[in-house]
Structure 1
Amino acid sequence: MQDGIGSRNASNFRKAAAREKILIISPQAPEFDKQAGWARLHRMVEILARHYEVFFLAENFHELYSRWRKDKYTRSLTEAGAKLFLHDYDLRQILRNHRFKLAILEFFDTVERNLRVIREVQPFLNVVYDAVDVGFLREQTWADLAGTQEARTRALQTKEAELAVCRSVEAVFTVTPLDRDVLLNEESELSIEVIPTIHTVECQHDGEMRPDKSTLLFVGGFKHLPNVDAVKYFCSEILPLVVRKRPALKVLIAGASPPEDVAALASKNVKILGHVPDLKHLLRSSDISIAPLRFGAGMKGKIGEALAYGLPVVTTSIGVQGLALRNGEDIFIADSPQEFAQCIDTLLSDAELRERLRQNGIAFIKRTCIPAVVEDKLIRFIEERTGELRSKRQCNLEKERLDLNFDVFQRHQLAADLINRTRADDQEFTILDIGGHGILQQFLIQDFVVTVDNERYRLIEDFVFGNGMRLPFKGKAFDYAVSFDVLEHIPSERREAFLNEMERVSRDGIILAAPFEAPLISEAENFVNEFYKGLHGNENPWLIEHIANRLPSLEQARSRLEALGFHVSVLPNGYLPRWVTMMGLTVFLERFPAGTDILKRLNRLYNSSCYAADNREPCYRRIVVATRQDLSLNPSDIYAEFEPQSAEDFTRVFEALAQLKMLDSLEKTSAELSAVRQELRDVALVKGLARFPLRVYRKLKREIFRR
């Protein structure tokens, strides 16, 4: 296989993939001459742009950004063929306008910031987290070195966050097999592909020996803390041992943004070069590359780059993490200052040994890291593992549904259960969701769901702007027309027209969910509205609209649908005592920053454990199922019957919410008491200071009279 971008195997996919789109989101445009990770990303963009239409979204401006996009970093992306979006883009709009084959997100915090929007707008888009290095592994190695509780705590926090991201996406890219194995040891179900740093072999003078100039080279950006530690460690503990034998030795340290304590290391033996845009001259003129890393993770770009130039490398066990490099044959590995210094001296003294390492290092790069090898792996992953990723996405969707608000989950889940009951084998339906938010598609993965709404800028996939009373579709265009909690927001005089339109566009049936008029429902809504008002100072905007329009009549809706020729069944949904409790907890917890996480866990608990038991009377809403064929549905057809709870249970729910209001009052009172306590402490402190001179005077008086 020839060195260079493009291989015969990868090229086989080009024609089929020519129109498909890849989304890449990164904190910034890759500054490819400053860090190995950025160089890898830049070359990945070059590879992908040869096969797909690449959209590159940079969350922030990079350091040398030019508004006219004439700096080398933005220019190189556009020259590679990528569509570049910098900083002020609208991710929702981009996702709304373009259907992507795959999304690749750099760094786990980038996933945390963007995944929710991706899931909302394109719920079936496969997302890859590009780890670059495993952050918690890097921090664990630092914690082992530093030995502080603070470092260990930080590593554990990073581990929890990073693994959560890994679980939330369909696949992970790592740069070494070790990083892959570390993640799989924590989460065995992860789908991981190793995409190493990418290097071209620049050393073409086979057999040529370098003159012994005794020049060592360190390369690394100093915004990366392992590089700062490595240089300080080398200069303080290793270099003195080397210069005893070789006082003329030169150490060149190249890397952007050296901090003051690194710049202060400059001496007659050490030269701090700062950022060097083109390292070719240094790599070709130096004798040994050093990488004295004591903590870190991932593939070290400085090592791969040196090997690609035929430059022998001395590093540590951390430096060769995950690389199948043989000590003494491909590279020298030393973990103590004495061993490291000895390896340097041995290499400088033995030209034949340097040549062997040079040849073996180049061979390693050709086997693993040249663009053609990486391109073949990357394109094969995208094209040949689509089915695997799709299955993983469906599994993730099932988990994500459980995180939905309980009220949203319960009505969508019951509707999906009803539709699935009418499905023959692998039958696929076309479904119109009127006034929805695009959520139904997550429950009906195999079906084609179109959402219509009168909010023109609702940025979700398969969205059509329209009015429920005049739908912009031909008659019988869909198998089912569904609407969830919309009817009560429509003025009463227009509800019949709404039902007529649902009938016109549906072939098989209608599913209509709404709270219908009943004293108990009105009492529950008024209570929740008053509770909301007591906490926020204003009425709930949704519930107040229910009051203004009046809740719809179930009998009128049933009669109209029967007049249109449907067989109608009515099912309960949302057991009212629990609905009131959950609504109260939602309103209460949304007020606190920490409450968001508690509420998420509460919704997951309800959706996974309580939902099936809540399709019973007394209920908050009813699901009206109107079908062309008589299904004669009743609750026991869907779920097992449950023992009805007594009126006392319902009363206890209202008492529980009253206690919540009392807790809120106590919280406010507690805050006031804390302020008063602080004032009292301040007063006591002032009084204490005021008494201090008096105590001194009395002590002096006693001393005087003793004399």
Structure 2
Amino acid sequence: MKNLIIIGKVFPEPNSTAAGSRMIQLMDSFLTQNYQITFLSTASISENSFDLSSKNIQFQNIILNENSFDELIKNQNPDVVVFDRFTTEEQFGWRVSEQVPNAVKILDTEDLHFLRNAREKAFRQNKFLENSDLINDVFKREMASILRCDLSLIISEFEMNLLIEKFKFDENILFYLPLFGEVKKPKTSFPERKNFISIGNFLHEPNWQTVLQLKKIWKNIKNQLPEAEIHIYGAYASEKVFQLHNEKEGFIIKGRAENVEYVFNQAKVLLAPIPFGAGIKGKLFESMQFGLPNVTSTVGAEAMQGNHDWNGFITNNETEFIEKAVLLYQDENLWQISQENGFKIIKNRFKKEFFEPHFIQKIQEISENLESHRNLNFLGQILQHHTLQSTKYLSKWIEEKNKK
């Protein structure tokens, strides 16, 4: 039996984040190939963490900057090691390379953090994103992490093209692996539904900014649809989020959605004026799966529709956003067409069988030709050499300091 180690920043929470759902899908792919999986994290398990034991996945806490990890990884002797983002690769990648040099190292980027970071900065400065904005400190760290790994998983076609065309990355060390989806047709029809919704984990800054955008425009929608409310769902809502709650205005903060499918099946339209971000947006992905039309921004819809019509409307114009939200809420025929458009996108672009077999094959090819694969990635070899020295001795210094 092959052995897989996953090193995660946190234990996956598929009911809280798209990243959590992505991790479960990734583990399921390895389980189909009879991998024994162990999930390691410096974080604590929370009440919202997925029950890994339900899939016979072992899990264990690890400590940062401590050589106990060295013994653990050496004893496990994994065939494959997955890092759930570039920061975990920075922290533990050099130890993996030193203790189990023949393990295939995979980085699951989730989304490109440098891109999200640059877009957020441009948003806060109220300016258009420029190419120079992308070359930030996060960019340098994340690109180095990608180069040090044998394979990096890219969740968005836009991000895949950005790395290959703009930054000239070798396609051989990248693999496009989006979220997997299946259509889950709802039983509730247009006349049975009411209200708008928005959803998103509030630990994620773009989701908080999205709610602030909705608060700003909601009165204009409410004036045209007096009976409508907007229900805001999301895990980890803080006091500042609940302060936006206003029943008289119909702006209702609901907090965590215990059953996303049920919530989506009761609502009429999802609103997501996402101002910045990266990757595939889980809320919009699920809105297509569950048949809930939406209105969103170009960043929100990025890399999802391909050549298909969107399941609602895409606009960055505030006035047009309000207009389309009201139109979609009232027009049953348009609503049904939009719902069907979402189903087509899921069926034609995100089915598991389009990607999983090629992903498994790619890992097998790298495993069987690991030395030649790494030799082709000479920049990665250079970075690996220097990182092993700099990161290693910084970590060891911290380790000694902690002992004192």
1:137 aligns with 2:115: yes
Query: What amino acid is the match of 2:181?
Result: H
Q: Find the aligned partners of 2:311 and 2:341 in 1 and give their Cα distance.
A: 5
1:229 to 206, 209, 212: 209
Q: Find the aligned partners of 1:402 and 1:132 in 2 and give their Cα distance.
A: 26
Matches within 5 A, 1:315-394: 315-325=296-306, 329-386=310-367, 390-394=371-375
- Over 3 Å counting, the alpha-carbon distance change for 1:400 and 1:176 in structure 2 is closer
Q: Secondary structure at the match of 1:132?
A: coil
Output the TM-score relative to the length of structure 2: 0.85
- Over 3 Å counting, the alpha-carbon distance change for 1:42 and 1:116 in structure 2 is same
Q: Secondary structure at the match of 2:144?
A: helix
Query: Mind listing any 5+ residue stretches in structure 2 that lack a counterpart?
Result: 398-404
Once the 2 structures are TM-superposed, how far is the Cα of residue 345 of structure 1 from its aligned partner?
Answer: 1.3
Question: 1:261 corresponds to which residue?
Answer: 240
Query: Mind listing any 5+ residue stretches in structure 1 that lack a counterpart?
Result: 1-18, 65-71, 407-585, 597-707
Q: Find the aligned partners of 1:120 and 1:385 in 2 and give their Cα distance.
A: 19
Q: Find the aligned partners of 1:174 and 1:229 in 2 and give their Cα distance.
A: 25
Once the 2 structures are TM-superposed, how far is the Cα of residue 33 of structure 1 from its aligned partner?
Answer: 0.5
Q: Find the aligned partners of 2:388 and 2:364 in 1 and give their Cα distance.
A: 35
Q: Find the aligned partners of 2:253 and 2:368 in 1 and give their Cα distance.
A: 51
Q: What do you get for the CA RMSD once the two structures are aligned?
A: 2.9
Structure having the higher Rg: 1
Once the 2 structures are TM-superposed, how far is the Cα of residue 231 of structure 1 from its aligned partner?
Answer: 0.5
1:192 to 174, 184, 202: 174
- Over 3 Å counting, the alpha-carbon distance change for 1:355 and 1:377 in structure 2 is farther
Q: Find the aligned partners of 2:384 and 2:266 in 1 and give their Cα distance.
A: 59
1:114 aligns with 2:92: yes
Once the 2 structures are TM-superposed, how far is the Cα of residue 147 of structure 1 from its aligned partner?
Answer: 1.3
Once the 2 structures are TM-superposed, how far is the Cα of residue 229 of structure 1 from its aligned partner?
Answer: 0.3
Task: Output one character per residue of 1:29-88: Cα deviation in whole Å (capped at 9) or x when no partner.
Answer: 101100111111122212312321112112211333xxxxxxx7352x112121212235
Question: 1:93 corresponds to which residue?
Answer: 71
Task: Output one character per residue of 1:139-162: Cα deviation in whole Å (capped at 9) or x when no partner.
Answer: 11112211189x998971111111
Q: Find the aligned partners of 2:307 and 2:225 in 1 and give their Cα distance.
A: 27
Question: 1:633 corresponds to which residue?
Answer: none
Once the 2 structures are TM-superposed, how far is the Cα of residue 175 of structure 1 from its aligned partner?
Answer: 0.9
1:20 aligns with 2:23: no
Contact 2:281/2:301, CA 8 A, preserved across alignment: yes
Question: 1:73 corresponds to which residue?
Answer: 49
- Over 3 Å counting, the alpha-carbon distance change for 1:241 and 1:38 in structure 2 is same
Task: Output one character per residue of 1:503-542: Cα deviation in whole Å (capped at 9) or x when no partner.
Answer: xxxxxxxxxxxxxxxxxxxxxxxxxxxxxxxxxxxxxxxx
Of 188-197 and 129-138, more deviation after overlay is shown by 188-197
Question: 2:400 corresponds to which residue?
Answer: none
Once the 2 structures are TM-superposed, how far is the Cα of residue 194 of structure 1 from its aligned partner?
Answer: 1.5
Task: Output one character per residue of 1:582-603: Cα deviation in whole Å (capped at 9) or x when no partner.
Answer: xxxx9xxx99x8xx9xxxxxxx
Q: Secondary structure at the match of 1:104?
A: strand
Higher relative contact order, structure no. (Cα contacts within 8 Å, ≥ 6 residues apart): 2
Once the 2 structures are TM-superposed, how far is the Cα of residue 98 of structure 1 from its aligned partner?
Answer: 3.1
Task: Output one character per residue of 1:97-148: Cα deviation in whole Å (capped at 9) or x when no partner.
Answer: 2332221101111000001101111123221111101011001111221118
Q: Secondary structure at the match of 1:340?
A: helix
Contact 1:142/1:295, CA 8 A, preserved across alignment: yes
Once the 2 structures are TM-superposed, how far is the Cα of residue 212 of structure 1 from its aligned partner?
Answer: 6.3
Q: Secondary structure at the match of 1:335?
A: coil
Query: What amino acid is the match of 1:27?
Result: K
Q: Percent identity?
A: 20
Q: Secondary structure at the match of 1:239?
A: helix
1:182 aligns with 2:157: no
Q: Find the aligned partners of 1:250 and 1:390 in 2 and give their Cα distance.
A: 59
Contact 2:194/2:266, CA 8 A, preserved across alignment: no
2:230 to 241, 251, 262: 251
Once the 2 structures are TM-superposed, how far is the Cα of residue 372 of structure 1 from its aligned partner?
Answer: 4.0
Q: Find the aligned partners of 1:175 and 1:334 in 2 and give their Cα distance.
A: 23
Of 388-397 and 31-40, more deviation after overlay is shown by 388-397
Q: Find the aligned partners of 1:401 and 1:25 in 2 and give their Cα distance.
A: 19
Contact 1:222/1:255, CA 8 A, preserved across alignment: yes
Task: Output one character per residue of 1:250-291: Cα deviation in whole Å (capped at 9) or x when no partner.
Answer: 111110122333212211211111112221211111111121
Once the 2 structures are TM-superposed, how far is the Cα of residue 213 of structure 1 from its aligned partner?
Answer: 4.2
Contact 1:45/1:80, CA 8 A, preserved across alignment: no
Question: 2:284 corresponds to which residue?
Answer: 303
Task: Output one character per residue of 1:1-26: Cα deviation in whole Å (capped at 9) or x when no partner.
Answer: xxxxxxxxxxxxxxxxxx11122110
- Over 3 Å counting, the alpha-carbon distance change for 1:376 and 1:405 in structure 2 is closer
Once the 2 structures are TM-superposed, how far is the Cα of residue 329 of structure 1 from its aligned partner?
Answer: 4.5
Once the 2 structures are TM-superposed, how far is the Cα of residue 244 of structure 1 from its aligned partner?
Answer: 1.8
Once the 2 structures are TM-superposed, how far is the Cα of residue 179 of structure 1 from its aligned partner?
Answer: 1.3
Question: 2:15 corresponds to which residue?
Answer: 33
Q: Find the aligned partners of 1:199 and 1:270 in 2 and give their Cα distance.
A: 30
Question: 2:401 corresponds to which residue?
Answer: none
Task: Output one character per residue of 1:291-316: Cα deviation in whole Å (capped at 9) or x when no partner.
Answer: 11000000001111111001112110
Q: Find the aligned partners of 2:308 and 2:219 in 1 and give their Cα distance.
A: 24
Q: Find the aligned partners of 1:192 and 1:113 in 2 and give their Cα distance.
A: 21
Question: 2:139 corresponds to which residue?
Answer: 159
- Over 3 Å counting, the alpha-carbon distance change for 1:402 and 1:325 in structure 2 is closer
Matches within 5 A, 1:394-405: 394=375, 395=377, 398-399=381-382, 403=386
Once the 2 structures are TM-superposed, how far is the Cα of residue 324 of structure 1 from its aligned partner?
Answer: 2.6
Query: What amino acid is the match of 1:358?
Result: Q
Q: Find the aligned partners of 2:44 and 2:134 in 1 and give their Cα distance.
A: 28
Query: What amino acid is the match of 1:351?
Result: E
Q: Find the aligned partners of 1:362 and 1:154 in 2 and give their Cα distance.
A: 34
- Over 3 Å counting, the alpha-carbon distance change for 1:385 and 1:117 in structure 2 is closer
Q: Find the aligned partners of 2:368 and 2:388 in 1 and give their Cα distance.
A: 30
- Over 3 Å counting, the alpha-carbon distance change for 1:378 and 1:91 in structure 2 is farther
Q: Find the aligned partners of 2:92 and 2:81 in 1 and give their Cα distance.
A: 11
- Over 3 Å counting, the alpha-carbon distance change for 1:302 and 1:401 in structure 2 is closer
Query: What amino acid is the match of 1:231?
Result: V
2:149 to 138, 153, 169: 169
Matches within 5 A, 1:529-678: none
- Over 3 Å counting, the alpha-carbon distance change for 1:74 and 1:221 in structure 2 is closer
Q: Secondary structure at the match of 2:153?
A: strand
- Over 3 Å counting, the alpha-carbon distance change for 1:400 and 1:163 in structure 2 is closer
Of 392-401 and 280-289, more deviation after overlay is shown by 392-401
Q: Find the aligned partners of 1:91 and 1:404 in 2 and give their Cα distance.
A: 18
Q: Find the aligned partners of 1:57 and 1:339 in 2 and give their Cα distance.
A: 46
Question: 2:37 corresponds to which residue?
Answer: 54
Q: Secondary structure at the match of 1:403?
A: helix
Once the 2 structures are TM-superposed, how far is the Cα of residue 389 of structure 1 from its aligned partner?
Answer: 5.3
Q: Find the aligned partners of 1:225 and 1:329 in 2 and give their Cα distance.
A: 25
Once the 2 structures are TM-superposed, how far is the Cα of residue 325 of structure 1 from its aligned partner?
Answer: 4.7
Q: Find the aligned partners of 1:401 and 1:113 in 2 and give their Cα distance.
A: 13
Contact 1:106/1:129, CA 8 A, preserved across alignment: yes
Q: Find the aligned partners of 1:153 and 1:111 in 2 and give their Cα distance.
A: 24
